[in-house]
Every structure is written in C-alpha cells, then in structure tokens.
Structure 1
Amino acid sequence: MDSKNFAECLCPIARSLNLLGDAWTMLILRDANAGMTRFEQFKKSLGIAPTMLTKRLAALTDEKLLEKRQYSERPPRDEYVLTQAGRDFLPVLLLIGAWGRKHRGHGEMVRLLDAENGTDIQPVAIDAVTGAALGTRAIKAVYPQE
C-alpha cells in the first residue's frame, strides 16, 4: 500500500493515519486537549521547530481538528482551539497512553487522574453495541461491493 494513497484507502485506520500518523501531530492534540491554544505554548511544551509546528497546526486546521481564532489584533495573533473532531480524539490518545504504560512502561511516567475524584484513569475501548471490550472478540473487515 502506497502511503500517498492512504487518504483514498477503504480502511478508516489508514485514512486517519494519513493525517494523524506522526508523533508531532498526536502530541499537539494531546497538548490542545490539556488546554494549550497558543503557538508559543505548543513550541515550549514540545521543543518543536517553529516551521514544523506551523505545518502541523495548518494541517490540523485544514482537517478541522483545530480552529484558528484571532485573539489579538495588534500585533495580530491567533490561537488554535479544538473542534469537536479534535475533542473526539482524546479517547484515542488516552488508549495510546494506556498501551504505552502497559507495553513501554519502564521508568517514571506521568499519571492521568480523574480530576473530580483523583483516581487513576484506566481507559478501555468498548463496543457500544455488544458492550464487549475491544480485542476480546474476533473482528472481521467487510469491504464495500464493487
């Protein structure tokens, strides 16, 4: 499969990775979900080159995961606010983090806590139809008829 064709691929995972498949993009969404909105905040948090950050923010804005809003006229300054699509990505990030804690968990790591009761968050993906945890049952891909 040629990565240039991922955007047109029948597989929703491949289509999503076409945009979200690099670490910088995921980390920008992580920081945005943590409340960051400004270019300098992202740059400081990530230690990312400004040109790379500009490209990633533009792509996330073009794909409507972030919305660009002007917060200052003089000098003109924009902030990047999560859209519904960007907020909908938070559970994916939390599941990636849970996988990382389980399989890459050597050394100290950040803990994610429920802000209301202080308990550790233990994300799990559940099929809304059956209530079964994903990964506990076989999955079959059904392709559209040609």
Structure 2
Amino acid sequence: MVKRVSLWNAACPVARSLDAIGDWWSLLIIRDAFSGARRFGEFQNGLGISKGVLTTRLRDLVERGIFETAPASDGTAYREYVLTAKGRGLFPVIVALRQWGEDHLFADGEVRSSLVERGTGQPIAKLIIRSANGRSLAWTDTQVTA
C-alpha cells in the first residue's frame, strides 16, 4: 500500500484542504451529516462502509476539528458526531460537488437525488463565483498569487 503523503505544509489552500478532509469517504460522511446523520450506525447504514474504515475516518475528522462528539440528543449513553463551525463551512464544497455532478455525470432523465430548499421544496440556485463587488467571475477572470 502506498503511504499517504501529508500536504499540511503546502502553500496551496486546495492541497491543505484535501489533507484536512482526507478522502472521498470523509466527504460522504460530511455529506450525510448535512442530511442529518449523527450516529455511527446512521453513517454506516447510509454509506455501507465497514466499521473499521468509518471508525478511522470519524476519528480523523474529529481530530481535524470538522466534527466533535456530543452526548446523544435522546439522552441515551450513545455519542453523536456533530459538525463544528469548521465542518459546516464545508457546505458550499458539498453543494459545488453536487452541482458539478448534476451537470456532468448524469444522462438526461436519469434518476438522482436533488438538493432543495427545505421550506419551499424548490431547487437551489447554482453557485456563482463573484468578485468583491458582486460581479460574476469565470475561471479565466481569476489567478493564483503567492
């Protein structure tokens, strides 16, 4: 097995973000947390992930400050995984991945899940990258500086 290389000291925020998130299982765990999953069994049942992999990913996400554990909301002895402010900050990332997938990975009419506004049931608008003054920007309107 190839040893994972840490990108934590990279000068690139994308590389550091990927290092913090870990892997695709972690993003799916975070996605499920946004849908209301809080307990180990909920994540495992929803994802079909092995207990060992899920244990490792949840531990890493807690260590990275994306989740915290809390007493179960129903008063039982269980612990729940709750997104921190840092974890909730990943919502636009999950939405961006969802919208990209909707645009590029499904055939017309193919069944897929949808993200809608809770109060109205209406689809959410596409994410738009904007300048500081609100103007819409394309990738060609941006550059990375050191």
Instruction: Please classify the TM superposition score into its range, dividing by the shorter chain length.
Output: 0.7 to 0.9
The aligned counterpart of 1:71 is: 72
Find out whether 1:60 has 2:90 as its counterpart: no
**Distance in 2 (alpha carbons) for counterparts of 1:81 and 1:39:** 11
The aligned counterpart of 2:14 is: 13
Gap change, CA 1:134 and 1:45, over 3 Å in 2: farther
CA-CA distance at 1:82 after TM superposition: 0.7
CA-CA distance at 1:127 after TM superposition: 2.7
Contact persistence 1:98–1:122 (CA under 8 A): no
CA RMSD of aligned residues (A): 2.2
**Superposition TM-score, scaled by structure 1 size:** 0.86
Report 1 or 2 for greater relative contact order, CA contacts < 8 Å, sequence distance ≥ 6.
1
SS of the aligned residue for 1:7 comes to: coil
Long gaps (5+) in structure 1 = none
The aligned counterpart of 2:114 is: 111
Matched residue type, 1:62: E
CA-CA distance at 1:138 after TM superposition: 2.5
The aligned counterpart of 2:128 is: 125
After the TM superposition, which segments of 4 or more aligned residues of structure 1 sit over 2 Å from their partners?
125-128, 132-138
**Distance in 2 (alpha carbons) for counterparts of 1:46 and 1:80:** 15
SS of the aligned residue for 1:81 comes to: strand
Gap change, CA 1:100 and 1:55, over 3 Å in 2: same
**Superposition TM-score, scaled by structure 2 size:** 0.86
**Distance in 1 (alpha carbons) for counterparts of 2:13 and 2:118:** 32
